[in-house]
Structure 1
Amino acid sequence: MLLRLPTTLSEAQRYLADGAVPVGGATLVWALWQRDGFPEQAMSLRRLPEANHIAREALGAAVLLHQVDDRVPDVLRRAASTVGTGAVRRTATVGGNIVGSTLRCLLPAALVLDARATVLDPDGTYETDLSEAVAKRPLLLGIRWRDPVASGYYKAAGEAGGPPPFVVATAVHAGDDGGHRLFIAVRDGYEVISETAARGTGTDEVLAALEGTDLGSLPAEAREEVRREVTAILDRTAAH
């Protein structure tokens, strides 16, 4: 297998057009390749500057999970810090986790940040909705968002080899009209549900509105965790 390591977008675009298979940290695909056979070409973005930046409102796809620190909002930092073991976090990448993994541990955090995806295809780069990027699995260069007023993250305890732990991610964003809006996303098993509600109403009204969405179909214990997380972040942002 020939591993391509582009240093420019034009190189990455050319390798992609030549059939190179994108690979992040290879924490998930290596075993599959050993079983099914290795591709002729693979491509890593670890030397591509556009895929390695870390900022308050942007994160590159080639950034390793252990590098995600307090330069990004708390919800994203905490999500990255709870993925797998330390050894996994030193190898796995942001892009591989979001578009290459069925667990998608970072996806709830990215959704509540209302993030957009920057992707590359043989025709060039473009920005797209994050849910579309997850569904179509293009070559992800990074994600961008607006800094929230506040964010929160909860992950239930899990068992090794068991189902994915339940996750609740929350964020409150300031709108252009001066109002605030709550974003919430949960991972229940392998399914991710995201919803939003106006922050201007009281906590009980927000919770009632969320109960009328797909979140209301969650098991009772999961709905209670949602209630706790929503109440906590609304209390924290009450003065804003």
Structure 2
Amino acid sequence: MLLRLPESVSEAQECLAEGAVPVGGATLIWAGWQRDGFPEQAMSLRSLPEANVIGHGALGAAVVLNRVDERVPEVLRHAAAAVGTGAVRRTATVGGNLVGSTLRCLLPAALVLKARATVLDQDRVYETDLAEVLAKHHLLLSLHWREPLASSYRKLPGDAGGPPPFVVAAAVHAQGGGPDRLHVAVRDGYDVLTDDVPCHAGTEAAIGALGDTPVGTLHSAAWEAVCEHVTHLLARPDSR
């Protein structure tokens, strides 16, 4: 297998046109390749500057998870730190986790940041929403977001070999003249739910409004975890 390392967008597009298979850290596909056979060409974005940005409201798809640090919001930093083991985080990439994984551990964090995606195809680079990226398995270059007032992330303990642990992510965003809004996303099993509600009237009102959204349909233990998480976040001074 030939591994190609493009250093520009045009080189990456050339690789795609010639049939190179995009890979992140290959943590998820290596076993399948060993079983089913390796492609003739693969392409990594680890040498592409646009896919390696960190900070100033952006995170590149080729960034490995253990490099996600204080330059990004707390919710995204903690989500990356909670993925797998240290060995996995030294190899797995942001793009591989979001697009190549069924767990998509970073997705709740990206959703509450209202992140947009910059993607690459053979003819152009363009911005789209995460729903399109996941549905069409686009080649992700980077995520971009507007900084929240505050954010937080929690993964509940899980059983080895059991379903994915429950995850809740939350962020408070200023609305530019309107009331601040609380954005919440959860991963329950393999399902992800997200919604947002006003939070200017206090924690009790925000939780009550959240209870009328799809997030409010969670089973009792999950809903309790959401309420506790939201309460702690809205109690922080930086949430106001």
The TM-score normalised by the length of structure 2 is 0.97
Q: Residues 37-186 of structure 1 correspond to what in structure 2 (within 5 A)?
A: 37-186=37-186
Q: Secondary structure at the match of 2:42?
A: strand
Segments of 5+ residues of structure 2 without an aligned counterpart are none
Change (3 A) 1:18 1:116: same
Q: Does 1:223 align with 2:223?
A: yes
Q: Does 1:24 align with 2:24?
A: yes
Cα deviation for residue 159 of structure 1 reads 2.5
Structure 1 residue runs of 4+, over 4 Å off? none
Provide Cα deviations, 1:151-208, integer angstroms capped at 9, x if missing partner: 0111101233221110000000111225311100000001111110012223222112
Q: Which residue of 2 aligns with 1:34?
A: 34
Q: Secondary structure at the match of 1:141?
A: strand
Provide Cα deviations, 1:35-68, integer angstroms capped at 9, x if missing partner: 1221121110000011011014100000000000
Percent identity of paired positions between Structure 1 and Structure 2: 65
Cα deviation for residue 237 of structure 1 reads 4.7
Distance 2:65 2:222 in 1: 26
Change (3 A) 1:145 1:239: closer
* Number of aligned residue pairs: 240
Distance 2:6 2:195 in 1: 38
Change (3 A) 1:120 1:202: same
Tell whether the 8 Å contact from 2:233 to 2:239 is kept in structure 1 after alignment. Answer: no
Cα deviation for residue 89 of structure 1 reads 0.2
Distance 1:89 1:105 in 2: 12
Tell whether the 8 Å contact from 1:149 to 1:237 is kept in structure 2 after alignment. Answer: no
Tell whether the 8 Å contact from 2:172 to 2:239 is kept in structure 1 after alignment. Answer: no
Segments of 5+ residues of structure 1 without an aligned counterpart are none
Distance 2:151 2:120 in 1: 29
101-110 or 14-23, which moves further after superposition? 14-23
Distance 2:153 2:239 in 1: 20
1-10 or 209-218, which moves further after superposition? 209-218
Change (3 A) 1:239 1:37: closer
Cα deviation for residue 135 of structure 1 reads 1.4
The TM-score normalised by the length of structure 1 is 0.97
200-209 or 220-229, which moves further after superposition? 200-209
